[in-house]
Structure 1
Amino acid sequence: MTAPPASRGSVLLVEDETMIRMLVADMLADLGYDVAAEAGDIDHAMKLARSAQFDIAILDVNVNGKLISPVAEAVASRNLPFVFATGYGVEGVPEQYRNHPALQKPFRLETLQQAIEAALGRGAS
C-alpha cells in the first residue's frame, strides 16, 4: 500500500449529480487534490464560492437547470482559477468564460489533470 500523494491544492467542486460529484472527488484525490468544499446547488455553491478556502474550482455548467455564471463570477472576483465541466461542449460554457478550461463530460483522469494545470497556469507534471 502506498501513501497518498502530498496535497497539490484544494478544490471547490460544484456538481448537481451526486454520483458524478463523488467520481470527480475520487479523481481529484487520485491527482493529489483535496476537496475543500462541494455543492450540488447554486445557492450553496454561491456561499462556498464567496467564503470557502480553495485554490481552484471545478464547476458544472448546468446545476439543476441553472447556469453556473453567478458562481463563476464569485470565484473570479476572488482571483481564483476555475474549470468548467459540461455535457454540452464548449457552446454550453457561458460566452464570457470561454477562455477558461472546459471539460467535456464524461472525462478521464488525464484530461482533468490537464484542465486543472491549464487553469493554474502551469504545465502538466
Structure 2
Amino acid sequence: MLQQYGPGAFLCYITCSNLLSVGMLSSAWLLFTRTTGFTPLQAGQWPKFLVFYAGAYAMTHAARPLKLAVGLACAPVGTALVDGVAWTLRSSKVAALVVLLVAEAAGLLCCLGAVALYANRLALSVAV
C-alpha cells in the first residue's frame, strides 16, 4: 500500500506525526505554564518542563501505530495534493513534496511560536 501512494503516504504520515507532536508539546507547554506560573524558557524552568513533558512524549510515542494508520488512510488525499502542487508548479512530485513539507514546517513553527507567546502572557497573568 505504501508503494501505491508513494509521496502522498509519506506526506500524510509526516503531517499526522508532526501535528500530534506539536499538539502534545503545545499542550504540555500550556499546562506547565498554567500550573507553575512560569514558562519553560524562564531561568531554571527547562529541566522541570522536561520532566513534565516526558509523560506527554510517552503518550505520543505510544500513538505510533495510530499515526501510521491515519497516514495510510489519508494517503489518497496526500497523493492528490502532491499531484496538484506538482501540476501547478509544473515540477516533479519530489519538488512538490518538498514545497509541501516546507510549508507545513513553517506553519507548525508559527503555531509553536504563538503558543510560546500566549504562554508568556499566561505566566505573567498568573504571577500577578
Answer whether TM exceeds 0.5 for this pair: no
Which one has a larger percent strand, Structure 1 or Structure 2? 1
Q: Which of structures 1 and 2 has the bigger CA Rg?
A: 2
> What's the TM-score bracket when you normalise by the shorter of the two chains?
under 0.3
Q: Flag the structure with more relative contact order, 1 or 2, with Cα contacts below 8 A and sequence separation at least 6.
A: 2
* TM norm structure 1: 0.24
Which one has a larger percent helix, Structure 1 or Structure 2? 2
* TM norm structure 2: 0.23
